[in-house]
Amino acid sequence: MSKTMTAIRFEPEEKEWIGAFANLNGVTFSAQVRQWTLERLEDEMDARDLQKAIAETDVDDEGISIVELMDTYGIA
Protein backbone atom coordinates (compact mmCIF):
# COMPACT_ATOMS: atom_id res chain seq x y z
CA MET A 1 0.00 0.00 0.00
CA SER A 2 1.43 3.36 -0.93
CA LYS A 3 1.32 6.17 1.58
CA THR A 4 0.55 9.82 1.03
CA MET A 5 2.08 12.77 2.80
CA THR A 6 0.01 15.02 5.04
CA ALA A 7 1.15 18.07 6.95
CA ILE A 8 0.09 18.57 10.56
CA ARG A 9 1.23 21.65 12.43
CA PHE A 10 2.44 21.32 16.00
CA GLU A 11 3.82 23.86 18.40
CA PRO A 12 7.59 23.31 18.81
CA GLU A 13 7.09 22.03 22.39
CA GLU A 14 4.42 19.57 21.24
CA LYS A 15 6.62 18.27 18.44
CA GLU A 16 9.52 17.82 20.86
CA TRP A 17 7.32 16.02 23.37
CA ILE A 18 5.87 13.66 20.76
CA GLY A 19 9.30 13.08 19.24
CA ALA A 20 10.76 12.18 22.63
CA PHE A 21 7.95 9.72 23.26
CA ALA A 22 8.41 8.19 19.80
CA ASN A 23 12.12 7.73 20.54
CA LEU A 24 11.26 5.92 23.78
CA ASN A 25 9.12 3.54 21.70
CA GLY A 26 11.79 3.11 19.05
CA VAL A 27 9.63 4.51 16.26
CA THR A 28 9.68 7.61 14.12
CA PHE A 29 7.66 10.72 14.88
CA SER A 30 5.46 9.95 11.89
CA ALA A 31 4.89 6.33 12.92
CA GLN A 32 3.92 7.41 16.45
CA VAL A 33 1.40 9.99 15.27
CA ARG A 34 -0.02 7.52 12.70
CA GLN A 35 -0.40 4.82 15.39
CA TRP A 36 -2.17 7.17 17.80
CA THR A 37 -4.45 8.48 15.07
CA LEU A 38 -5.52 5.04 13.87
CA GLU A 39 -6.01 3.77 17.44
CA ARG A 40 -8.17 6.78 18.27
CA LEU A 41 -10.21 6.32 15.10
CA GLU A 42 -10.82 2.67 15.97
CA ASP A 43 -11.83 3.62 19.53
CA GLU A 44 -14.25 6.26 18.23
CA MET A 45 -15.83 3.82 15.78
CA ASP A 46 -16.17 1.18 18.54
CA ALA A 47 -17.88 3.75 20.78
CA ARG A 48 -20.33 4.65 17.99
CA ASP A 49 -21.05 0.98 17.36
CA LEU A 50 -21.73 0.50 21.08
CA GLN A 51 -24.05 3.51 21.20
CA LYS A 52 -25.94 2.18 18.18
CA ALA A 53 -26.22 -1.30 19.72
CA ILE A 54 -27.49 0.16 23.00
CA ALA A 55 -30.05 2.27 21.14
CA GLU A 56 -31.27 -0.81 19.27
CA THR A 57 -31.51 -2.93 22.43
CA ASP A 58 -35.01 -3.86 23.52
CA VAL A 59 -35.42 -2.14 26.90
CA ASP A 60 -38.13 -4.63 27.89
CA ASP A 61 -35.73 -7.57 27.47
CA GLU A 62 -34.51 -8.40 30.95
CA GLY A 63 -31.87 -10.82 29.68
CA ILE A 64 -30.53 -13.45 32.06
CA SER A 65 -28.69 -13.24 35.33
CA ILE A 66 -25.03 -14.14 35.73
CA VAL A 67 -26.11 -17.21 37.72
CA GLU A 68 -28.32 -18.39 34.85
CA LEU A 69 -25.48 -17.79 32.39
CA MET A 70 -23.06 -19.79 34.52
CA ASP A 71 -25.59 -22.62 34.87
CA THR A 72 -26.21 -22.66 31.11
CA TYR A 73 -22.51 -23.05 30.33
CA GLY A 74 -21.60 -25.21 33.32
CA ILE A 75 -19.34 -22.65 34.91
CA ALA A 76 -18.74 -23.19 38.62
- The answer to whether the beta carbons of residues 22 and 32 sit under 8 Å apart is yes
**Strand ranges in the chain using DSSP code E only, listed in sequence order:** none
- The pLDDT score that the predictor gives to residue 4 is 93
Q: Where are the domains of the chain?
A: 12-72
- The pLDDT score that the predictor gives to residue 64 is 87
- The answer to whether the beta carbons of residues 23 and 29 sit under 8 Å apart is no
pTM here is 0.70
Dihedral (Cα; 55, 43, 10, 18), 10-degree rounding: 150
Contacts of 35 (CB under 8 A, 6+ apart): 27
- The pLDDT score that the predictor gives to residue 60 is 77
Tell me the per-residue pLDDT of 12-64, one tens digit each, with 9 for 90 and over. 999 999 999 999 999 999 999 999 999 999 999 999 999 999 888 877 777 88
